């Protein structure tokens, strides 16, 4: 049976454990580099990764492509499939996937519609990896986020996380919150309480909070980022306003007014002074003004390591999917 990665629920605790162990080994081996080319560097020789991106990306596409190259495979693809693939001539996503499956061994798909990855998987002859589907999910980001948390705060099970910003449209938040729920009662448990901080009209969807309730993860909803919330949080997960999800100019204006004007969802240097010394600041990136560059020098800033871990987690995932 073909294994697809559509959402984080596709991973059992055993899958996650083995993925993270493999990630750690790959990270250490890559940092040493000594025998890389003759060992890990040949594991996927002869295989092809297709990157099919209908939306822009810096980290996800390039880290997947780098991972495949480093493992000895090759990469083909289009970084702007909405303009440069035959979708312009009326081809359906399903037909594109049926055809591309004959040219590559795995398809990394980013699409602007929720459910696109699941639709692609339903007709694909090769594994589909959801690299973000509209305001739905971004499972591989959640995997690297959880890996980063466990690396930065090892053996903690009682952490409080604050998700800040556009929680309605932020697919990385949806996937990571789901992952906190699904790992709540296994040895990978890290978080016992979640603060969702955002304007009412951009709050976390009920589908996500319903899932957390099912797994007994407690949560609270807040309308602004305050020192009180920050002093009790171990992980501050900032997100940008997803203005590209606005359906009209009026919607966009409303989003700017709620999420940007007033700076209620900006981690200012003054607010950052309230953080615990042991806390970590994360952001899936790209960042806008909600995470000022002045914070980059803080010991709590982990977002560059977080993005860096994407390479190793995605290497481990490609091996899980493709190693013969
Ligand atoms: N975090 C993330 O998905 O970044 P990109 O949009 O640059 O891939």
**Euclidean distance between the first and the last CA atom of the chain, given in angstroms as a whole number:** 14
- Whether 114 and 164 map to the same domain: the answer is no
* Coil, helix or strand at residue 113: coil
How much is the pTM? 0.97
Q: Is 9 exposed, middle or buried (0-12, 13-18, 19+ CB in 10 A)?
A: middle
- Whether 314 and 303 map to the same domain: the answer is no
Strands (E), the chain: 48-53, 74-78, 106-111, 128-133, 159-164, 191-197, 218-222, 235-238, 280-282
Domain count, the chain: 2
Q: Is residue 1 part of a domain?
A: no
Identified catalytic residue from 23, 60, 148, 239: 60
Q: Is residue 192 part of a domain?
A: yes
- Per-residue pLDDT of the chain in tens (324 residues, 90 and over written 9): 889 999 999 999 999 999 999 999 999 999 988 899 999 999 999 999 999 999 999 999 999 999 999 999 999 999 899 999 999 999 999 999 999 999 999 999 999 999 999 999 999 999 999 999 999 999 999 999 999 999 999 999 999 999 999 999 999 999 999 999 999 999 999 999 999 999 999 999 999 999 999 999 999 999 999 999 999 999 999 999 999 999 899 999 988 888 999 889 999 999 999 999 999 999 999 999 999 999 999 999 999 999 999 999 999 999 999 997
- Whether 179 and 47 map to the same domain: the answer is no
Which backbone phi and psi does 37 adopt, to 5 degrees? -60, -35
Q: Is residue 194 part of a domain?
A: yes
Q: Return d(Cα 2, Cα 273) in angstroms, integer.
A: 49
Q: What are the strands of the beta sheet with 106-111, ordered from one edge?
A: 74-78, 48-53, 106-111, 128-133
Residue owning the nearest CA to atom 3 of ligand 1:
60
- Whether 151 and 50 map to the same domain: the answer is no
CA 51 to chain centre: 16
The response to whether residue 58 sits with its C-beta less than 6 Å from ligand 1 reads: yes
Residue with tokens 């996380």: 161
Q: Is residue 13 part of a domain?
A: yes
CA 181 to chain centre: 16
59 is catalytic: yes
- Whether 165 and 152 map to the same domain: the answer is yes
- Whether 179 and 200 map to the same domain: the answer is yes
CATH at residue 79? 3.40.50.1370
Question: What pLDDT, in 10s, does the model give residues 256-303?
Answer: 888 999 889 999 999 999 999 999 999 999 999 999 999 999 999 999
- Whether 167 and 273 map to the same domain: the answer is yes
- Whether 86 and 160 map to the same domain: the answer is no
Which domain, by its residues, includes 221? 139-307
The response to whether residue 60 sits with its C-beta less than 6 Å from ligand 1 reads: yes
Atom of ligand 1 nearest to the CA of 61: 8
| CB count in 10 Å sphere of residue 268 | 13
- Whether 49 and 144 map to the same domain: the answer is no
């Amino acid at each position: 049976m073909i294994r697809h990665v559509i959402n984080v629920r596709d991973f059992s605790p055993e899958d996650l454990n083995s993925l993270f162990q493999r990630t750690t080994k790959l990270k250490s081996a890559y940092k040493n580099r000594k025998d890389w080319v003759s060992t890990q560097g040949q594991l996927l020789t002869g295989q092809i990764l297709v990157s099919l991106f209908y939306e822009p990306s810096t980290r996800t596409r390039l880290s997947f492509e780098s991972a495949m190259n480093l493992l000895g495979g090759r990469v083909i693809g289009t970084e702007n499939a909405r303009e440069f693939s035959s979708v312009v001539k009326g081809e359906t996503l399903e037909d594109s996937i049926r055809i591309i499956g004959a040219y590559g061994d795995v398809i990394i798909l980013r699409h602007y519609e929720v459910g696109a990855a699941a639709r692609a998987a339903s007709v694909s002859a090769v594994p589909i990896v959801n690299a973000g589907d509209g305001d739905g999910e971004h499972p591989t980001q959640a995997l690297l986020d959880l890996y980063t948390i466990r690396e930065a705060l090892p053996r903690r099970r009682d952490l409080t996380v604050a998700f800040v910003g556009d929680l309605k449209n932020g697919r990385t938040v949806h996937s990571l919150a789901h992952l906190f729920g699904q790992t709540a009662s296994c040895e990978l448990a890290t978080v016992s309480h979640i603060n969702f901080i955002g304007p009412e009209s951009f709050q976390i969807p009920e589908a996500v909070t319903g899932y957390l309730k099912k797994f007994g993860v407690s949560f609270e909803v807040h309308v602004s980022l305050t020192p009180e919330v920050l002093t009790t949080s171990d992980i501050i997960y900032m997100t940008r306003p997803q203005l590209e999800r606005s359906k009209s100019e009026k919607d966009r204006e409303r989003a700017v007014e709620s999420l940007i004007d007033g700076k209620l969802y900006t981690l200012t240097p003054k607010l950052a002074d309230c953080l615990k010394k042991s806390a970590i600041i994360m952001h899936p990136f790209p960042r806008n003004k909600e995470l000022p560059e002045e914070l980059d020098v803080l010991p709590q800033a982990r977002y560059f390591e977080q993005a860096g871990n994407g390479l190793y987690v995605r290497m481990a995932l490609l091996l899980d999917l493709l190693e013969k």
